[in-house]
Amino acid sequence: MYFNHLNNFFHGIMFHHFHDNNIHTKGQGSISKDEFFKIIQFIGRKNILDADIFFEKFKESKLKDNEVCLTFDDGIKCQIDIALPILEDLKIKSFFFVYTSIFDGKPDNLEIFRYFRLNYFDSVDEFYIKFFKTLNKDLTLFFKKNEQDIKNTKSKFPFYSIEDIKFRFVRDKFLTKANYEENIFLMMDENNFKPEEIYSQLFLRQKDLKQLNSLGHLIGLHSHSHPTLLEKLNYDEQKSEYEKNIAIITKILSKSQNDVKWMSHPCGSYNNNTLQILRELNIELGFKQIMSIETDKGMKSINNSFLEIARQDHANILRKIN
């Protein structure tokens, strides 16, 4: 049984990567179509609301504790290649939260780096070894200083290994974005990897977004360039991220900006400035990334505000099933 005393409140179920035996490589955090179907069965089809119904019931304060919706982040193509056929078979309408620099020909390098890591190294640990060797920095004091934060992160995201978390801390806190990307690009050059050759198999195109919309799925905001730490941007930078995001989505879908009322926070990163900007854009439903009360963000309850609705990562559900 999916629902228990720890999750018996309305929330979203969060999905990112899917894999198959064809072009979408199996990797850390990815699931197959069979695993996706098992997750839906485990939750119970009757407990999963269509996105539009979830939104309307949310606005009317009529959501029940055991009602959830399905959400998909990042605008990646594996979602429509693998998950969409199952959604259509089961007649489930979901939220798809997309960042929009992919439609400007400037996709988030994180997705490209993920593809590189999965297809050019035998394991994620081999990638980490090569990454730190290429970086060539003494990180002893940095890890010591962040020891407690690393433990806290492990508690919040138990599906990450300690090495995963250390890598992310170095990426997001020790290095600048430019330094991090320079290090990865060096590794890519050594392997003669050309990222532009795989764009079409990684990212949604405008026609894909139009297809999702025509099928009744709801397309929502997820920032423009998908910064990993959006909360570190100043007010004007954050505002630009979301103004570009909503402008491009509505242009592609031939909608008014008032037609897009939902979003999810990229990488779970936001602050009070973010929430204010989203209110100004008339966003009425926002999803965070975890199922706990983040006191460092001033939260007092799980679903702290209409812009901070909890989501369960699919990996936590899969662990219960297995």
Q: All domains of the chain, ordered by start, with CATH?
A: 11-107+205-321 (3.20.20.370), 118-197 (no CATH)
Name the band, by pLDDT with cuts 50, 70 and 90, for residue 22.
confident
CA atoms within 13 A on the CB side of 306: 18
Q: Tokens for 172, please give them.
A: 């997001």
Beta strand residue intervals within 36-180, DSSP E: 68-73, 95-98
Amino acid identity of residue 69, one-letter, is: C
**Whole-angstrom distance, CA of residue 58 vs CA of residue 52:** 10
pLDDT at 147: 95
pLDDT at 274: 98
Name the band, by pLDDT with cuts 50, 70 and 90, for residue 1.
confident
**Whole-angstrom distance, CA of residue 11 vs CA of residue 304:** 12
**Whole-angstrom distance, CA of residue 105 vs CA of residue 193:** 18
Are 204 and 248 contacting, i.e. CB atoms less than 8 angstroms apart?
no
Place of tokens 């599906």: 159
What contacts 33, CB < 8 A, 6 or more positions away? 18, 20, 82, 83, 85, 86
pLDDT at 200: 87
Name the band, by pLDDT with cuts 50, 70 and 90, for residue 133.
very high
pTM of the full predicted structure?
0.91
Residue 144 has pLDDT above 90, yes or no: yes
**Whole-angstrom distance, CA of residue 211 vs CA of residue 67:** 26
**Whole-angstrom distance, CA of residue 230 vs CA of residue 186:** 26
What contacts 154, CB < 8 A, 6 or more positions away? 160, 162, 165
pLDDT at 297: 87
